Amino acid sequence: MKRCAPLLLLVLAGCGGQPVKYIVTPTSEPLCKAVAITCVSKDDVLTEGTSQSIEGNNLGISKVCKRLVACAPPKPTS
């Protein structure tokens, strides 16, 4: 048994170390899949505060998600 003791200590020495740490890098991908820009038509009536809020949200989405804010041009009625 004395010959096996150093081997046993060597095997057990690797079990008592520090726990493995995982590095998690947050991304904006889930947010970008879930949110959409808000498009406003010329016929909509908005308060100044609402229009500033919509513009701020659209600019924030475009910056975080690195995509252009582009609403479809209005379709001709005739």
Confidence of residue 15 (pLDDT cuts 50, 70, 90): low
Q: What is the pLDDT of residue 13?
A: 52
- First-residue to last-residue Cα distance in the chain: 97
Residues 6+ away with beta carbon under 8 Å from 72: 39
The alpha carbon of residue 38 and the mean position of all alpha carbons in its chain are separated, in whole angstroms, by: 19
0.95 exceeded by pTM: no
User: In this predicted model, what pLDDT tens digit does every residue of 21-46 receive, in sequence order?
Assistant: 888 888 888 889 998 889 988 889 99
